[in-house]
């Protein structure tokens, strides 16, 4: 058996290539849109991709099932209740997919609804006659240290309580009914908004999860639903868009060159409604940027965060470090944001030729600077953009909580005529949030360098005798 996990850190997303090296037959589970990695991996190991198995309709990224099917002729398989605009193979609970010769690699489908109604897990047998599976690909049903959230479909009429009851059965009876030695391979890891306490580990065992994962401890359905719905991070608005697009017969993604634009072309594009997305780091953005630009550094959770401050319909002009514009466009495409008009090369040189009124600068405060501002002024609005599970451990006194994913929909609640200071855990998200507010008309906006963690460290240091 050939078994490879392809993990994408920036989306905390795992996909899998599984093949039988004797027969040369393989499937890919939960692929991303830039499929070259799977084609190259399969070619290197003498495998031909015959099937694409989707564990469910993903919401956090636009999957590459159509791209892989187009490139290889593979069938696309979903759980028994899935409905799509494109032809699919419905995979029934208990169905076995044989990849090899007699005694070769076999996949067995396990219907594990709860995160979504159609969700499946995939049992992987190295040899068809094995009693204990090599592993189980759990999709978004079971994570390492957590389980999938059952509340994402509330907007389409499926309640968290209904799905939570399904998830309770899927996790506690079906998945925990497997032997301890079975390896667990989830679809996501730490950082994903598909759960709240995901581990940084990307694989585990059923036995380890049985003993360490709080959601795997025996409990009644009502208690389970309360546990898995409370404190969940606010999902980005694009989640609903991607879940819908993953059902549609949409256009496939191709690696096209991102066109370079001269500044007058950028200026004209902005006049027509395009958005400038500056992907340089926060310090470079602070020093100078095109006024009105959004800031999402390319070094972090770029795609997911861009999906918060942009809409899928936005025409985007990218500002990036030299040579990184294609990377930025590819990462946007992974969440289905394909409308990239081009990029502005050498922005620093462009800024030196512009009228100062066209150049924006950002204000960033150290913890000591924030204390000085709060001492001097009583009208400062302090906004904490962390997720609920983070602020449960404490916030800066007087701060209001607006998770970053909710900021576009709640910005009107923030007084635009008062100084605003934004904070998060370490300063990355607050810089993005500050840039969003400036781009939408707020004139006195700062963010806290180092975030709440730095503020708390300063508080503790001040309280410690010399």
**What residues act catalytically?**
424
Task: At 12, give phi and psi (nearest 5°).
Answer: 50, 45
Q: Provide Rg for the chain, Cα atoms.
A: 24
Q: CA 160: distance to chain centroid?
A: 21
d(CA 393, CA 231): 12
Give the β-pairing of 275-278 and 316-319.
parallel
Q: CA triplet 330, 147, 187: central angle to 5 degrees?
A: 30
Q: CA triplet 135, 138, 139: central angle to 5 degrees?
A: 140
Task: At 40, give phi and psi (nearest 5°).
Answer: -70, -40
d(CA 126, CA 108): 11
Token pair, residue 285, equals 């953005």
Token pair, residue 341, equals 């008009």
List CB contacts of 130: < 8 A, sequence separation 6 or more: none
Q: Across 58-194, where does the E strand assignment appear?
A: 75-78, 89-90, 96-98, 106-111, 120-125, 135-139, 183-186
Q: How many CB atoms lie within 10 A of CB 394?
A: 12
Beta bridge partners of 89: 77
- Are the beta carbons of 19 and 99 closer than 8 angstroms? yes
d(CA 16, CA 285): 37
Token pair, residue 268, equals 């004209």
d(CA 320, CA 354): 18
Place of tokens 């819908």: 244
d(CA 460, CA 271): 49
* Closest C-alpha among 402, 385, 391, 404 to residue 448: 385
Token pair, residue 432, equals 């993005």
Longest Cα–Cα distance of the chain, Å, equals 78
282 Rama class: left (phi>0) / alpha (psi -120 to 50) / beta: alpha
* Closest C-alpha among 339, 330, 340, 332 to residue 303: 332
Beta bridge partners of 318: 277, 343
């Amino acid at each position: 058996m050939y078994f490879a996990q392809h993990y994408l850190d920036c989306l905390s997303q795992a996909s899998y290539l599984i093949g039988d090296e004797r027969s040369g037959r393989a499937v890919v589970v939960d692929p991303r849109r830039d499929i070259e990695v799977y084609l190259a991996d399969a070619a290197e190991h003498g495998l031909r991709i015959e099937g694409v198995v989707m564990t469910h309709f993903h919401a956090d990224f636009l999957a590459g099932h159509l791209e892989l099917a187009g490139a290889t002729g593979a069938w696309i398989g979903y759980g028994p209740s899935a409905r799509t605009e494109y032809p699919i193979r419905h995979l029934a609970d208990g169905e076995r997919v044989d990849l090899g010769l007699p005694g070769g690699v076999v996949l067995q489908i396990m219907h594990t609804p709860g995160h979504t109604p159609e969700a499946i897990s995939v049992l992987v047998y190295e040899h068809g006659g094995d009693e204990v599976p090599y592993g189980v690909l759990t999709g978004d049903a079971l994570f390492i240290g957590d389980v999938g959230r059952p509340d994402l479909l509330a907007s389409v009429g499926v309640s968290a309580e209904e799905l939570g009851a399904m998830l309770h059965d899927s996790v506690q009876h079906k998945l925990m009914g497997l032997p301890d030695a079975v390896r667990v391979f989830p679809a996501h890891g730490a950082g994903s908004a598909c759960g709240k306490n995901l581990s940084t580990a990307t694989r585990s065992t059923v036995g380890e999860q049985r003993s360490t994962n709080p959601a795997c401890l025996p409990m009644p359905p009502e208690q389970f639903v309360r546990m898995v719905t409370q404190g969940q991070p606010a999902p980005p608005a694009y989640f609903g868009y991607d879940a819908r697009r993953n059902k549609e017969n949409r256009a496939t993604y191709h690696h096209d060159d991102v066109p370079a634009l001269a500044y007058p072309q950028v200026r004209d594009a902005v006049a027509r409604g395009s958005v400038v997305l500056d992907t340089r780091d926060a310090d470079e953005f602070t020093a100078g940027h095109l006024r009105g630009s959004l800031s999402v550094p390319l070094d972090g959770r770029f795609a997911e965060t861009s999906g918060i401050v942009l809409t899928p319909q936005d025409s985007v002009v990218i500002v990036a470090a030299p040579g990184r514009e294609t990377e930025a466009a590819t990462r946007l495409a992974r969440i289905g944001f394909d409308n990239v008009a081009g990029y502005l090369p050498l922005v620093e040189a462009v800024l030196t030729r512009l009228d100062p009124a066209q150049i924006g600068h950002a204000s960033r405060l150290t913890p000591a600077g924030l204390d000085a501002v709060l001492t001097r002024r009583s009208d400062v609005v302090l906004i904490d953009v962390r997720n609920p599970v983070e602020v449960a451990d404490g916030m800066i006194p007087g701060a209001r909580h607006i998770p970053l994913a909710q900021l576009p929909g709640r910005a009107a609640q923030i007084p635009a005529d008062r100084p605003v200071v934004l904070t998060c855990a370490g300063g990355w998200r607050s810089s993005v949030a500050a840039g969003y507010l400036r781009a939408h008309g707020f004139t006195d906006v700062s963010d806290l360098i180092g975030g709440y963690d730095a503020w708390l460290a300063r508080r503790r240091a001040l309280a410690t005798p010399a």
